[in-house]
Amino acid sequence: MKRAWSIHRRFVAKSTSQTRWDQVYQQLLLWTTNRLPGGPIGWVVAALPLLASCYQFCRVDAKTADHFFLGFPSYWNVVAFYAIVASFGIGLTTLVILVCTVLVFVPVKYLYPSRTEKLWYLNMALSVLWMAVYAVIVALMPDQPTWLIVLSLIYPVYYVGVSLWLTVTFRGGDRRPALIKA
């Protein structure tokens, strides 16, 4: 019981103080652009990222000692961005939100781009390039070319691919690949 109360207090304290309003705005953006289902189902779908983020923010192991995020990091802004610029329909947007919500609870070690040791230069270079393409897409909206959206997906695919590879290949204590050892 004492442990449950401790988890509850940490959940309430951290989720209320650290849940950023930008996560609420993203869901409102998806709602107002008709990317979420209508009615009560839409409210549930919109609430899932907020609840998952509250859970993620209260976890003491959300960031691992070896500088990874454990479980899907709260990249809901990226989800909303692609839903808008790629004109996802209600079904695809809902599916992506559901999958990402479930991934919050799956113990995959996602890269922490600015903290990964030897991959830092590659991660930061790709992050900067991705942000530049992101900015160009936003500047060109609503007439952004499809090829630019596809080009921008290189970084998220790299990010997920490397994260999955590191999780599956190098489990356990300090059995990290040589690329990221200090």
Counting other chains too, the contacts that 29-36 makes at CB distance below 8 Å and 24 or more residues apart are 29/80, 29/84, 30/80, 30/83, 30/84, 30/93, 33/84, 34/90, 35/83, 35/84, 35/88, 35/89, 35/90, 35/93, 36/90, 36/93, 36/94
Q: What is the pTM of this model?
A: 0.77
With 90 as the cut, is the pLDDT of residue 8 above it? no
Domain range list for the chain: 1-60+71-107, 108-182
pLDDT reported for residue 118: 61
153 falls in which pLDDT band (50, 70, 90)? very high
